[in-house]
Chains A and B, each alone.
Chain A
Amino acid sequence: MATKWKAALAWLAIAVFGFVLINVLIVVGVVDAFIENMLVTIGINIILATGLNLIIGFSGQFSLGHAGFMAVGAYATAIITSSMPTVFGFYLSMAVGILIAMGVAVIIGVPTLRLRGDYLAIATMGAAEIIRVILNNLKITNGAAGMFNIPALAGWPTVYVLVCLTTLMIVNFARSRAGRAIQAIREDEIAAEASGIDPTKWKLAAFVMGGATAAIGGSLHAVYIQTIAPSDFGIMNSIAILIIVVLGGVGSMTGTFMAAIVLGVLDTVLQSFGPLRMVIYALALILIMVFKPSGLLGRYEVSIRAWFDRKGGQHATSNSDRSE
Chain B
Amino acid sequence: MPLLTVTGLSKRFGGLDAVADIDMHVDEGELVALIGPNGAGKTTLFNLLTGVTPPTSGTITLDVAGQSVSLIGKPPYQVAKMGLARTFQNIRLFARLTVRENIQAAMTHRYTENFFAQILRLPAYYRKEQLVATWTDALLTAFDLTDVADLDADNLPYGTQRRVEIARAVATQPKIIFLDEPAAGMNPEETAALTALIRRLRSEFHLTVVLIEHDMSLVMNLAERIYVLEHGKLIATGTPAAIQQDEAVIAAYLGGGVHA
> By the criterion CB–CB under 8 Å, are B119 and A169 in contact?
yes
Q: Are A180 and B101 in contact (CB under 8 A)?
A: yes
Q: Is A320 touching B80 in the complex (CB atoms < 8 A)?
A: no
A176 / chain B contacts, CB cutoff of 8 Å? 118-119, 125, 129
B88, A196: Cβ atoms closer than 8 Å: no
| B50: contacting residue among A188, A194, A199, CB under 8 A | A194
CA gap between A299 and B96 in the complex, in Å: 10
Q: Evaluate contact between B94 and A183: CB separation under 8 angstroms.
A: yes
Contacts of B105 in A (CB 8 A): 180-181, 183-184, 192, 195, 197
Binds A, one of B131-139, B204-212, B224-232, B239-247: B131-139
Contact (Cβ within 8 A) B108 A181: yes
Chain A 161-190, CB-CB to B under 8 Å as 1, else 0, gives: 000000001001100111011011001101
Judge if B104 is at the interface, Cβ distance under 8 Å.
yes
Contacts of A193 in B (CB 8 A): 75-77, 80
In the bound assembly, the distance between CA atoms of A193 and B172 in angstroms comes to: 11
Per-residue CB proximity of A280-312 to B under 8 Å, as 1/0?
000000000000000000010000000000000
- Partner pick for B92 among A169, A183, A188, CB 8 A cutoff: A188
Q: Chain A interface: which of B18-26, B109-117, B248-256?
A: B109-117
Least CB separation from B128: chain A residue: A177
Query: In whole angstroms, what is the CA distance A318 to B134 when docked?
Result: 8
Q: A272: CB under 8 A from chain B?
A: no
Given contacts A184-B94, A194-B80, A194-B86, whether A177 and B133 have CB atoms under 8 Å apart is no
Contact pattern, B 166-181, Cβ under 8 Å of A = 1, otherwise 0: 0011011000000000
Q: Nearest-CB distance from A155 to chain B (Å)?
A: 26
Complex: A10 Cα to B243 Cα, angstroms: 66
- Contact status of A319 and B136, CB under 8 A, knowing A180-B104, A191-B92, A195-B80: yes
B139 to A: closest C-beta gap in Å: 11
Whether B193 is near chain A, meaning CB under 8 Å from some CB there, is no
Determine chain A's interface SS by DSSP, over half rule. helix
Chain B CB count within 10 A is highest, among A172, A173, A319, for: A319
Using CB atoms, name the residue of chain A closest to B135: A319
Kindly state the separation between the CA atoms of A188 and B102 in the bound complex, as whole angstroms.
Answer: 11
Question: Nearest Cβ in chain B — how far from A68, in angstroms?
Answer: 23
Residues of chain B contacted by A187 (CB below 8 angstroms): 93-97
Determine if B77 and A199 form an interchain contact, defined as CB atoms under 8 angstroms apart: yes
Say yes or no: is B100 at the interface (Cβ < 8 Å to chain A): yes
Chain B residues with CB below 8 A from A199, complex form: 77
Q: Given A172-B119, A194-B76, A196-B81, check contact A177 B95 (CB 8 Å).
A: no
Q: Chain B residues near A169: list those with CB within 8 A.
A: 119-120
With A193-B77, A195-B105, A197-B108 in contact, do A177 and B97 touch (Cβ < 8 Å)?
no
Complex Cα spacing A145 to B96, Å:
47
A197 is contacted by which of B50, B77, B112, B149 (Cβ under 8 Å)? B77
Q: By the criterion CB–CB under 8 Å, are B129 and A184 in contact?
A: no
B118:A172 contact, CB within 8 angstroms = yes
B168 x A195 contact (CB < 8 A): yes
How far is it, in angstroms, between the C-alpha of A211 and the C-alpha of B77 when the chains are bound? 26
Contact A191 B108 (CB under 8 A): no
List of A residues within 8 angstroms of B136 by Cβ: 319
6 examples of A-B residue contacts, CB within 8 angstroms: A172-B120, A173-B119, A180-B105, A194-B92, A197-B105, A320-B129
Ranked nearest first, the 5 interchain pairs of A and B with the lowest CB-CB distance are: A187-B94, A196-B80, A191-B92, A319-B133, A184-B105
Knowing that A176-B125, A191-B88 are A-B contacts, what are 13 other residue pairs whose CB atoms are under 8 Å apart, sorted by A's residue number?
A172-B119, A176-B129, A177-B113, A180-B97, A180-B101, A180-B108, A187-B97, A192-B105, A193-B76, A194-B80, A196-B109, A316-B149, A322-B101
